[in-house]
Chains A and B, each alone.
Chain A
């Protein structure tokens, strides 16, 4: 059942990304890693929980500059010796790294095998292990400044509090049901409802913080969108402030865009350049939007690039359609090519637009700093967690379903249903929460009743 070899795999989502992490886990991890890593010292001599900057090579060929995070057994995600390479994103680099590791003696991990090993090695305080894992991802991005202490245990503690609250609410409901003969003052419906609503809101907010956590983990997506020749590519390069390096663009029929990343305020910004959207007879070609849809959908910010020489309102229709379709993103209307204007900046500040307008020249560099500063500010704000914990996709999903169950409980209460129905929804919520907290609940509800209320004949 338990194979004791060394395995490796890409552990960040595959595809285009600013950063990627390849994990190597098993008894041979350090030996294999040393064959591929050139840094100040061999990784096999490095202490646990240290991060090393260096070059990842395959034979003599440089694959990427990477960070190597060292975890010595049993203090790793899997409980085994583990090295995690943080490399630049994109399929090519990460796949090459995985191939190199396999060539050096590792085996490609089966889906879920890291987690299975974590199970088998008794590393399964789900919440904490996940938080640690998340931390690793975040730290492997140079400049990310998340304190480890802030994360580890923070979520566990909060979920425990939530659970405690729900159990107490359940106890109040059960009290009515199982101790009907007692002379007890039962809690009012209003009070119960407010407890449920608060808990629901809390879950929802925590679930929503996933978006912020994602920014810290995966980066802040900024897309350049506009008609052909609006100067998107030059804006792309101007924002980047460097030549495109290392990662080659991935041409493809469905993903016809380029991606690069840089850091602002310590947050990885993932800049995406889309192919131009064509316009026919003043009607935006919807097909074009569909093409950019993939990009825009995951964008935190959409920079709508307008060639100001075609007129300040030239791209307004495109802007409106995009915003209608993807209302969640932030937008900025970027008036490019102001260097070509002979009469100075036109006066144009429409009140109805409702988004910031930037006047830039990508070629000459005018206004680029302002735009970068604005992006940095947006990234910072988006990365601000309402809570001081990081959650991952699974935790967000569970929390959303908990919120839903609590919503149903509140609904049952509002509809005037008897406590056992409300309790059924509430119990469902606590059971879902058990996926994160790993605790059962039955004894506790009664324990709470016995501790808090004078019961009994």
Chain B
């Protein structure tokens, strides 16, 4: 069982610093893989806090949660348990982009997270502020805390979120801190920089919170969850919708009011230097960049069943408080809104992620892993995905078991980490399905088929769950084979086809071929045969997967071929000490980036922004 210690000392296999979504996954994975693990956090009650939007998932992010779950991570379970409303986004699109999103109880999520950690073996939770990293021979060997104690560690996973040298801004008023009411972490960033790790500065923001009773919901458009709602985790049997969200819009008047505060905006006056995410702009950013739009959408999301706090989705801002209030009150339904907390922007240090390996270990210091916002990502899901991979690899390293890296063609997590390392982005990284070139392979429906085997081999998925997966897999193979070999007779299916308005069969065709017709439902088709396919019909998930695999066979095959080509290009390894200056004909930009990133293979090199196919051709000649 896990335990909370008052103060830490002694010796651990893995020390995880930070109790956010990255830290939780890292600590849980390392502990469950049998490592003596310590989770250090400034405040135990802050473990699992949903600092911004109390929601998990969304497009591409939902995929990440499914993948984390399939690998044996905890985010899916926590999201299900604390879920208030569930929606499968993109339902009208193809299966590759269906993405689950949940609204979550801001109060319950951290409680469930803490409860879950406390049930884990090998895990000590220690309330402490880390002030130093201990290094010996370019290897991390422990951490030092504020009270002067030392924890020895064979691996350290740093998940410090937005806390490194963090400053919060509301108007021109700046307060040190990584989250409302919580102090920053100072000193560590400078220390790491002294070991050669380079850092930059980013910015993110959060909207104000309003008191529910001060909002006139009757006049607003409600937004409901799915019926029936689906859970994230394969472990969860059932979830329920418990709340309704409401939609409203800003008005020209709102924009006018907010404009009056632009001279006191820390963004526009240059006080904030860090770059913010373009996909999650502040309301002031939206007004400036899209001046022709007279209205922006606002969603009012209850934060918890146990509180009156309403999250104003779409109104992230760092304008002065009085301007925020006046602006909010010009929005329909919010005329009498009472502020619980104003919006603010937070600026923080991050370390350029190209300084990491694909298993998230820093290249500068052995045994030191980074996960989450410290790597310049945004989002709980992105953080959790990295935390899981960092925790797994920290444990593997301690146990001398090699490394665990997911490829771009097998998981969004692979895309995420590979992008972080090979791209030199200067804004917080968010997962998008557009970033996955093998999007049709990386579906949420097959996340467990893609990844659960790894989770099982790592010791994070129990045998029972894995065996169930194998059974399902076998059933799927059998069903697909059956559909390919057995033929549908015209008399058996023509009535059904007529019902759909589909052209009738003239002669028998394989069932697989019929399944490829977009309007045909495989379940309905098999049901025409009474008991004959009952063995398959009992498993709706298998039916759905067979339908997807058959219907999009051509596309899926092509992406598999492309992925194979990519893997081949990654077979051409670039020696770690390769001297790029020897390569005649590399562009200056390519030379600079290749020297900095030092990609492990030609395939990776090709993905680096600024390295052109010409540069790759030249490089290839030298590597042959």
Q: Please list the residues of chain A having a beta carbon within 8 angstroms of any beta carbon in chain B.
A: 1-2, 116, 119-126, 174, 176-183, 415-421, 423-424, 427-428, 434-435, 438-440, 442-443, 445-446, 450, 454-457
Contact = CB atoms under 8 A, between A and B. Distances in A.
B461 to A, nearest CB: 29
B434 A442 contact: yes
A450 B278 contact: yes
B481 interface: no
Interface in B389-438: 423, 432-435, 437
Given A119-B617, A124-B618, 7 more contacts: A178-B434, A180-B90, A435-B613, A439-B612, A446-B434, A456-B281, A456-B314
A435 B584 CA distance: 21
Contacts of B586: 122
Interface in B362-377: none
Given A454-B289, A456-B286, A119 B555 contact: no
Interface centre among A178, A179, A434, A435 (most CB of B within 10 A): A178
Interface string B259-299: 00000000000000000011111000010011001001101
B432 A178 contact: yes
Contacts of B552: 421
B153 interface: no
Contacts of A442: 434-435, 437
Given A122-B585, A454-B290, A454-B296, A420 B94 contact: yes
A180 B62 CA distance: 13
Contact of A445 (B299, B434, B518, B587): B434
Contacts of A116: 621
A121 B433 contact: no
Given A420-B440, A438-B612, A456-B280, A119 B434 contact: no
The 4 lowest CB-CB distance pairs between A and B, nearest first, are A418-B94, A124-B614, A122-B585, A450-B278
Nearest to A442: B435
Interface string B106-135: 000000000000000000000000000000
B584 A121 contact: yes
A176 B280 contact: no
B435 A457 contact: no
B617 A177 contact: no
11 contacts: A124-B618, A174-B434, A177-B59, A177-B434, A180-B59, A180-B97, A419-B93, A420-B94, A420-B440, A456-B279, A457-B53
A383 B551 CA distance: 47
A179 B614 contact: no
B434 A182 contact: no
Interface of B: 53, 58-60, 89-90, 92-94, 96-97, 99, 101, 277-281, 286, 289-290, 293, 296-297, 299, 313-314, 316, 423, 432-435, 437, 439-440, 518, 552, 555, 558-559, 584-587, 607, 609, 612-614, 617-618, 621-622
B433 A420 contact: yes
Given A415-B518, A445-B434, A424 B555 contact: yes
A418 B434 contact: no
A424 B439 contact: yes
Contact of B279 (A177, A418, A450): A450
Contacts of B96: 420
B584 A2 contact: yes
Nearest to B612: A438
Nearest to B551: A417
Contacts of B439: 420, 423-424
B559 A416 contact: no
A428 B299 CA distance: 37
Contacts of B440: 420-421, 424
A417 B554 CA distance: 13
Interface centre among A116, A124, A427 (most CB of B within 10 A): A124
Given A420-B433, A438-B613, A457-B313, A177 B93 contact: yes
A421 B297 contact: no
Nearest to B438: A424
Nearest to A118: B585
A417 B94 contact: yes
A418 B93 contact: yes
Contacts of A177: 59, 90, 93, 97, 433-434
A419 B433 CA distance: 12
B422 to A, nearest CB: 11
A420 B548 CA distance: 14
B500 to A, nearest CB: 14
